[in-house]
Structure 1
Amino acid sequence: MDKQLPVIENGMPIEEIGEAGNRYIAAVWEELYEERYDQLVKAFQEIEDAAYGLYLDQLMPPLFERLEQAGFHALGPVKENDFVIGKCLKFSDSLEKWGTEDNRTRLFWNVIRNERHEAIGTLITAIPHSHLNFDIPRAPQLYTFKQTEREQIVEGIGQIMRESGGA
């Protein structure tokens, strides 16, 4: 797959990071989905929702690697029982309570820190998916906001889902 890597530079504000990430996802998500589709359908039959983690393990690392190269930190402390996919997406920092069984959305969040470890904002990764069969009905999407405290992040995610119609 010809990857169009996101352009991320030191000092970028969180909004520009989100825009660069969305350009990257728009450029590669569908081709990756089609290339891996048969393999992911088989995986879904065996491991169900974990198949989406296999997809995100391919899609998201280039974004997080570019963030690291630019001096940003996306992964906070990882506890022993944390489950991490896509290089930096922790299930303990995610929510999934919107949509129907065939059109759900899980939202992961990463507090992004600069080279001085100062929080600059939160990057939200939304992955639409089905629980009935392997299906990603539309491109994953990134959202950003300045809030970095868990309670504010959860509130912001709720607002994102209300504004998007909840799926």
Structure 2
Amino acid sequence: MNPNSDNVPAEGRSESPIHALVKQMNRHLAEVWTTIWNEQEEALTEMFANYGDRAYGAFVQRLMEPIAQRLQSAGYAIRAGFNRHDSVENWGPPEERERCCWYVVRDADGVAAGTAVLQLFHSHVSFRLPQAPNFLALEETEPSAIAAALSYAAVRLTGQGVSYRNFGAEPAQAWEYGTDAGLGDYLNVPAGQRQTGTGYIDHALALWGRNGWELVTVMPHGDRLVGYFKRPAR
């Protein structure tokens, strides 16, 4: 997994080390994550029923073991496992929440090469991953700088399209409500990057909309922009 090795495609050699590493981490992730999920699903589904989101932390901890081992064999190291304080979760409906867990990657001399961010879309309603996990590459290595970078949807969602699907529930007289305190992050762009249209707000609304939620209103709360959603009660 050495980004300077002959196994790295030519186009990757001009990239920063962290971007080249994360590309290879994603290849390895694609090879192992479904196997780990299938092995752990029954036990973690029971854990989710009893303890909620802790089940996803246990899954991430198991998932990062082979990733850390592969990095170590290439001369790099991360602090594997799952640390809730090294993560942020501000976005999406309960059926498709987005949590970003970060891991600073260091070389054999302990020098930080950058940060690999595990992007995990998951459900708070049942133990389910609506999207495959994915790594993002960041040059930032300090926690505050990492969190600030992840507040930009343009950083988290680069290269992702928006998909839509119909919600099949029948209309109901009763309603349920949800809030999203991260909507403003989809309108921000990093310094030096040009704003295009409405930014990534369509992506945010599509996540809620495809799970049956309708935007009611938005209101500022401190330095956040909070969206209020509703849908027919199931």
Task: State the superposition RMSD in angstroms.
Answer: 2.2
Quote the residue 1:151 is aligned against.
144
The match for 1:120 among 113, 118, 134 is: 113
Change (3 A) 1:152 1:57: closer
User: Residue 120 of structure 2 contacts residue 133 of structure 2 at CA under 8 Å; is this kept in 1?
Assistant: yes
Given residue 60 of structure 1, which amino acid in structure 2 is its aligned partner? M
Matched, 1:15 2:28: no
- Secondary structure, aligned partner of 1:60: helix
The match for 1:50 among 49, 54, 58 is: 54
Any idea what the Cα deviations from partners look like across 1:133-158, whole Å, max 9, x if unmatched?
A: 11111111100021222232112211
Any idea what the Cα deviations from partners look like across 1:84-103, whole Å, max 9, x if unmatched?
A: xxx33321111011111111
Equivalent pairs, count? 149
Rg larger in 1 or in 2? 2
Distance 1:130 1:61 in 2: 23
User: Residue 14 of structure 1 contacts residue 123 of structure 1 at CA under 8 Å; is this kept in 2?
Assistant: yes
Quote the residue 2:134 is aligned against.
141
- Secondary structure, aligned partner of 1:89: coil
Give 1:46 deviation, angstroms.
Answer: 1.2
User: Residue 99 of structure 2 contacts residue 120 of structure 2 at CA under 8 Å; is this kept in 1?
Assistant: yes
TM-score by length of 2: 0.58
Distance 2:132 2:40 in 1: 15
Structure 2 spans left out of the alignment, 5+ residues: 6-16, 158-185, 187-199, 208-234
Matched, 1:93 2:97: no
Which structure has the highest helix share of the two? 1
User: Residue 119 of structure 2 contacts residue 135 of structure 2 at CA under 8 Å; is this kept in 1?
Assistant: yes
After TM superposition, what 4+ stretches of structure 1 lie above 4 angstroms from structure 2?
A: none
Quote the residue 1:31 is aligned against.
35
Larger relative contact order, structure 1 or 2 (CA cutoff 8 Å, min sep 6) = 1
Quote the residue 1:84 is aligned against.
none
Quote the residue 1:103 is aligned against.
96
